[in-house]
Amino acid sequence: MEGEITSQVKIRFSDCDPIGHLSNSKYLEYMLNAREDHFEEICGYSYEDHIRQTGNTWVVTQNQITYLKEVRPNITVNISSKIIQHDEYTSVVEILMKDARNEIIHSVLWTTVVYFNMKERRVIPCSPETLASFESNCKEISEKHFGHRTESLRKQNKQWKKY
């Protein structure tokens, strides 16, 4: 799917809590690590390369996460990410953790980032080239609010239980 990249990862036993579920903080770790890999695949360079070349980076200003279905150790999950909103200063990325068949959604994360100049220590606009790359990789979703998106994904999960 254009604008959306997916990778697979195995959930490690050591990342789970005593009752056998993936620890809440580890969801973020798995999802943000996948997004970093996806960024490199989309852009052809890493965050570190971008900082070295431009002196700029993206700084997270907000994370919103909902845990929809528990994740157990030693299973494989698919983690997909896509830009769902952006302007010259800010981007919102949606990251989904799904089961290996892409049927059940385990969690949804919206992370909001601003483009930041490290030397000047302030938010600045992205370059026209970066904006063009974001535009070509942006994937619109119908829900514009996180709560609405979460409810939509819950309903989607319930549909799979019927079959």
Locate 45 and state its tokens. Answer: 């360079």
pLDDT in tens, 19-43: 999 999 999 999 999 999 998 988 7
Establish if 90 belongs to a structural domain: yes
pLDDT in tens, 52-84: 999 999 999 999 999 999 999 999 999 999 999
Establish if 163 belongs to a structural domain: no
134 with 83: CB under 8 angstroms? yes
Q: Which phi and psi (to 5°) does residue 44 adopt?
A: 85, 10
Establish if 27 belongs to a structural domain: yes
Establish if 162 belongs to a structural domain: no
Establish if 92 belongs to a structural domain: yes
Q: What CATH number corresponds to the domain at position 10?
A: 3.10.129.10
Residues of the domain holding 108: 4-157
Domain count, the chain: 1
pTM of the model: 0.93
DSSP 136: H
Locate 118 and state its tokens. Answer: 């490290």
